[in-house]
Structure 1
């Protein structure tokens, strides 16, 4: 499409990047066919093509408004549109730039600002997440049923394996929400990878990957968290660690884009690109590994697999987890419309609860239609979202490979 961006924007790297993305769009509308919010609302402005048009107008000088901000807020960031775009339009990157411009012009109502700051503060550290969940469990009898269902049970992660000296070594992102809400995930990963001869090494100082702040109007704060993670990982990288394993696919997507996000940072650009190149989803490693030491944990087990948007649309690993599970004997039931989002999308289930609930209902209908014994997924947000309404257990798929799964501990 033709563009006429403001000269002051074209003088910036982000502005020139946005201009190139806009010019690649031919406005064909193929993206609307796979956009979850367009399917729900039927409003052109709540689809990728309409959002691109709104961003273009702001970049050409039209005033940003609360209405434009609302339509951008409703975007899940699932990136299903990018998979169906015949022109390869990098919609997610354009949306990031556009949101930043709109946020600089439109002051949110106080309650929205408070909520977003609270989410960044409360969810960006595993310790804070554990504290909030402990308080939530105490208050569960007083909470509305819908909110109480979202508080996961307290679980014991189980014993750490003795994996020193195995020969292969990988860093692992310990996470914030996942570390506090589903600690069994990384513990299971450590046990599984130890059986395959791979030691997982943590770096607690890395903290949050930065995605929470970056996607909640605090791009500067998100970049600061990315720099902190790079600093924490760098000694292990310099000593020869072969990869950075990220067991939450949403975080893996963010780490994979560090090089792009920090490309204009003279102090971190090179290291960020190196970190991005080392980031791995567990499925990538396991798909290329001899899994014989794991045996056949899936024999006779029937499950539905929910591929998170971050895994299939951003990391482009569609079908990889399913292939690993089938190699290990699991029977996977068909899942209609597997490309559609479950409605978790980071903090979307909190900032856009009504739309999120509708997406969750549709997704559970698709997942449970084949009568699976359980549901597996690869991202903590999806796991918590699905577990709040599913009639069967929802687990991270690595737990299914765990040779010694721990029992749940009683709640307090």
Structure 2
């Protein structure tokens, strides 16, 4: 698809990148078959191909309207279309650029978002990215959870005990990103991860100066703020990287896909470009690391099961929901299922396992109607498997799914932690 950039984008990194991405689109429409919002709304402009046409017009300097922004806002950025596209269109990067250009052009015309939308985006950026502030708000919400309206209660999971953090020191060390919302919403995920790695002879350490991965700000249009978050994390991790940390472990696939893009997003920053590339190369999702310890995990699970007089899993059946940020963003598929199956768990995928659950970072707050329709469809298919539990790999998916079901929803590493006793 040929694009002639408008003067204001010509010879800019974002403009040239967007032009290159649009140029790969061959209008085939395969993407519409796997786009969740197109499936719900049936509107060409609410599918990837239609949105690409809209962004092409914006890139060429044609008038921008509120309607253009609405169709881009409705996109989940699930990147299912990238998995489907035969031409390799990097739609996720394109829509990040396109949304920023659309917002800037509308602002230049004096057309702002409604005050309620502006406040919601500001609040998400300024609270979710500050763990101390978010944690305080979450603890307060948990204390009065039964009194909250349903919309808020859906975002406030019940408080859980994280359990003990291992104190053993090991020669092998890996960095762990604590994250911005996960420590207060589900502290047991990182604690369980640390315990599992401790059993495998690996010590997980956290750089306390590290914070939000940058996704919240970057994906809501604050590119500069997002890049600042990335630089801060690189600075925080760099001493441990120089000291020989083997990997940067991600327990939230949404953070993982973002950190893996640091190298690309900071490629034009002379001071950070090289370090950003190295950070991205070191970043690994849990499901990429633990298969290397499969035999040791199986032995540990068998030992724990023997001590309890069971086989370690009791044939537990779980339904696995692979987050979009894992299967489409990071293109990691099959690893979680294989690992759990090797440990004796009966793992099932539902019929629409390739589709988004509707969480999508801040999407469930900014587009609640579409988000909850997608959640309910996903849960219907997951519960058709009659699982004892639902497991996933991202805090957003876990919280979103749990808000609509009484079936326990957890991170798969929590299941492994329990199996190891």
- TM-score over 0.5 for the pair: yes
Rounded to whole Å, the distance in 2 between the matches of 1:25 and 1:39 is 20
2:248 paired residue number:
244
**1:116 and 1:216 in contact (8 A); partners too:** yes
What SS does the aligned partner of 1:132 have?
helix
Look up the match of 1:315: 330
Alignment of 1:18 onto 2:18: yes
**Among 218, 241, 256, which residue is 1:214 paired with?**
218
CA distance in 2, matches of 1:143, 1:64: 39
* 1:87 and 2:94 matched: no
Given candidates 308, 324, 330, the residue that maps to 2:339 is: 324
> What residue in structure 1 maps to residue 2 of structure 2?
2
Q: How does 1:67-106 map to 2 (within 5 A)?
A: 67-106=67-106
- Secondary structure of 1:10 counterpart: coil
Unpaired runs of 5+ residues, structure 2, are 107-111, 303-311
Q: Is residue 292 from structure 1 mapped to residue 292 from structure 2 by the alignment?
A: no
Q: When the two structures are superposed, what TM-score results if normalisation uses the length of structure 2? A: 0.93
Distance 1:340 1:33 in 2: 11
Residue 135 of structure 1 and its aligned partner are, at CA, apart by 2.2
Paired with 1:136 and 1:275, the residues of 2 have a C-alpha distance of 35
Deviation at 1:146, TM superposition (A): 4.2
Matched with 1:64 is 64
Query: Which residue of structure 1 aligns with residue 264 of structure 2?
Result: 260
| Counterpart position of 1:54 | 54
Describe how 1:157-168 pairs up with structure 2 within 5 A: 157-164=162-169, 166-168=170-172
* CA distance in structure 2 between the aligned counterparts of 1:256 and 1:347, rounded to whole angstroms: 20
> Does the alignment pair 1:194 with 2:209?
no
**Counterpart among 128, 141, 153 of residue 133 in structure 2:** 128
State the Cα distance separating 1:112 from its structure 2 match. 1.1
Instruction: Give the superposition deviation at 1:140.
Output: 2.8
CA 21–149 in structure 1, closer or farther in 2 if over 3 Å, else same: closer
TM superposition score normalised by structure 1 = 0.95
| CA drift at 1:141 | 3.7
1:405 to partner: Cα distance: 9.0
* Rounded Cα–Cα distance in structure 2 between residues aligned with 1:249 and 1:52: 26
Q: How far apart in 2 are the matches of 1:10 and 1:182? A: 45
Consecutive unaligned residues of structure 1, counting only runs of 5 or more, are 407-412
Does the 8 Å contact 1:129/1:181 carry over to 2?
A: no
For the residue of structure 1 that corresponds to 2:320, the secondary structure is: strand
Tell me the secondary structure at the aligned position of residue 209 of structure 2.
helix
Stretch moving more, 116-125 or 233-242: 116-125
For residues 419 and 298 of structure 2, the distance between their equivalents in structure 1, rounded to whole angstroms, comes to 17
Correspondence for 1:30: 30
1:148 aligns with 2:150: no
| Higher mean C-alpha deviation, range 288-297 or range 101-110 | 288-297
